[in-house]
């Protein structure tokens, strides 16, 4: 089947007559049609002057294969050999860039700048994330996505790609890159938006995937043709957020087992603990200060009541950028110290800069 005809079938499957600018992973493609396109492209890749149709087919096939590459160890040689079943590169590297640029133009997409190998990275982003890994409970990628989603909803002022970077130490090394950060950030934003829309609907929704405008699906970086992916998205869309949005800091009240417990008697104590992300933009922190107050390069975050205080975190400005690391000390107020009203203060060289009264700091009932 000619490449042009296959592409028309792909567009028809998306109820389109021409590309509408959505990411390539957002086009539903039956397995047989995708394999037919890959074979048709492979048979013509040696052409010296590829036309727009061949370029478009190449980008679509390459992106689809890269998106399902579970180990994320993508290279050009591997793409030629495993995706297109070619022993060697069909043309010199200098021809890759104009071919990809022309192919993406057909789909109304552009090359993105993520790293030095931006053309390959662009195809990886266009292919999305491997649905199998995303949907597998206990898989590091699955857990990573949940962490990013939860923090994004709790700390909406923090740039979401920064949240994605903070957690990537939990991933395999091949996944610790801006390409994956971009994809996971897009996924978390799409799920968070879907949750808000579903929450605003008064009627019970039988199938959340069908209840929302289809335009939001274009932001999900995985194929919903996969049943496991559908179940994952349905589950996440209908799960309430773990925590309410905050400006960056919140106080948690916990009931924890006392270290003095023994085999016969288990005792518990109340603790108040500061929660925050690992980093915040300086502009977000400045909004917490009195007008005209400058944020220092270093400060302590002190948890205190009328009679007791502990340094629960340290603020450290990152060199050259307007961001602060927040290094937790894991110190908390407990027992009788946790009963009364608890406040949070920023302190520099022993002098308070500002005091925050957070909702979780109210006195506890008797």
Contacts by 255-259, CB closer than 8 A, 24 or more apart = 256/334
Please tell me whether residue 352 adopts helix, strand or coil conformation. strand
Q: Is the pLDDT of residue 202 over 70?
A: no
Task: Please state, in angstroms and as integers, the Cα–Cα distance from residue 148 to each residue in 35, 113, 163, following that order.
Answer: 33, 22, 6
Please tell me whether residue 235 adopts helix, strand or coil conformation. helix
Q: Is the pLDDT of residue 366 over 70?
A: no
Please give the angle made by the CA atoms of 153, 156 and 157, to the nearest 5 degrees: 165
Strands (E), the chain: 250-257, 268-275, 279-281, 298-304, 309-317, 323-328, 333-334, 343-348, 351-356
Q: Is the pLDDT of residue 261 over 60?
A: no
Distance CA 16, CA 22 (A): 11
Quote the pTM value: 0.60
Q: Is the pLDDT of residue 117 over 70?
A: no
Band (72; pLDDT cuts 50, 70, 90):
low
**Torsion sign (Cα): 329, 334, 337, 342:** positive
Between 95 and 59, whose confidence is greater? 59
- How many CB atoms within 10 Å of residue 366? 4
Contact 90, 80 (CB under 8 A): yes
- Per-residue pLDDT, averaged over 240-266, amounts to 72
| Chain segment 130-189, per-residue pLDDT in tens | 777 777 777 888 888 898 998 888 878 777 887 888 788 778 776 777 778 888 898 899
Strand partners, 309: 304
- Per-residue pLDDT, averaged over 118-129, amounts to 84
Mean per-residue pLDDT of the chain: 84
Question: In the 8-state DSSP scheme, what is residue 94?
Answer: G
| Chain segment 306-358, per-residue pLDDT in tens | 889 999 999 999 877 778 889 989 899 988 888 999 999 999 988 999 888 88
- The residues, any chain, with a CB within 8 Å of residue 152's CB and separated by 6 or more, are 158, 160, 163, 185, 188, 189, 192
Listed residue (223, 210, 181, 216) closest to 196, CA to CA: 216
Q: How far is CA 38 from the centre of its chain?
A: 29
pLDDT of residue 186: 87
Distance CA 64, CA 35 (A): 10
Distance CA 324, CA 315 (A): 6
Q: Which residue has the tokens 């399902």?
A: 68
Contact 58, 120 (CB under 8 A): no
> Helices (DSSP H) in 45-159: which residue ranges?
52-67, 76-78, 96-106, 118-127, 131-134, 140-154
Q: How far is CA 165 from the centre of its chain?
A: 9
Distance CA 159, CA 156 (A): 8
Helix (H) or strand (E) holding 16: none
pLDDT of residue 65: 92
- Per-residue pLDDT, averaged over 223-243, amounts to 81
Contact 334, 259 (CB under 8 A): no
């Amino acid at each position: 089947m000619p490449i042009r005809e296959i592409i028309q079938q792909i567009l028809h499957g998306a109820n389109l007559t021409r590309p509408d600018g959505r990411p390539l992973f957002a086009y539903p493609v039956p397995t047989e049609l995708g394999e037919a396109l890959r074979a048709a492209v492979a048979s013509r890749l040696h052409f010296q002057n590829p036309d727009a149709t061949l370029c478009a087919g190449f980008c679509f096939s390459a992106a689809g294969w890269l998106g399902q590459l579970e180990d994320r160890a993508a290279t050009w040689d591997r793409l030629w050999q495993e995706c297109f079943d070619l022993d060697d590169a069909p043309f010199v590297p200098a021809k890759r860039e104009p071919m990809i640029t022309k192919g993406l133009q057909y789909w109304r997409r552009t090359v993105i700048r993520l790293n030095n190998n931006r053309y390959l990275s662009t195809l990886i982003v266009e292919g999305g994330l491997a649905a199998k890994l995303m949907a597998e409970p206990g898989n590091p990628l699955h857990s990573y996505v949940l962490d990013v989603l939860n923090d994004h909803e709790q700390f909406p002022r923090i740039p979401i790609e920064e949240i994605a970077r903070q957690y990537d130490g939990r991933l395999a090394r091949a996944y610790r890159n801006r390409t994956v950060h971009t994809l996971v950030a897009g996924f978390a934003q799409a799920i968070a938006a879907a949750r808000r829309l579903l929450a605003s609907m008064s009627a019970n929704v039988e199938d959340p995937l069908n209840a929302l405008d289809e335009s939001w699906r274009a932001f999900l970086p995985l194929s919903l043709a996969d049943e496991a992916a559908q179940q994952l998205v349905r589950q996440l869309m209908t799960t309430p957020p773990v925590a309410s949005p905050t400006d960056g800091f919140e106080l948690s009240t916990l009931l924890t087992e006392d270290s003095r417990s023994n085999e016969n008697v288990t005792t518990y104590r109340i603790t108040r603990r500061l929660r925050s992300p690992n980093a915040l933009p300086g502009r977000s922190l400045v909004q917490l200060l009195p007008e005209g107050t400058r944020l220092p390069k270093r400060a302590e975050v002190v948890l205190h009541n009328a009679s007791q205080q502990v340094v629960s975190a340290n603020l450290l400005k990152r060199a050259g950028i307007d961001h602060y690391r927040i290094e937790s000390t894991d110190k908390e107020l407990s027992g009788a110290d946790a009963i009364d009203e608890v406040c949070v203060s920023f302190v520099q060289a022993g002098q308070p800069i500002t005091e925050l009264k957070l909702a979780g700091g109210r006195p506890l009932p008797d």
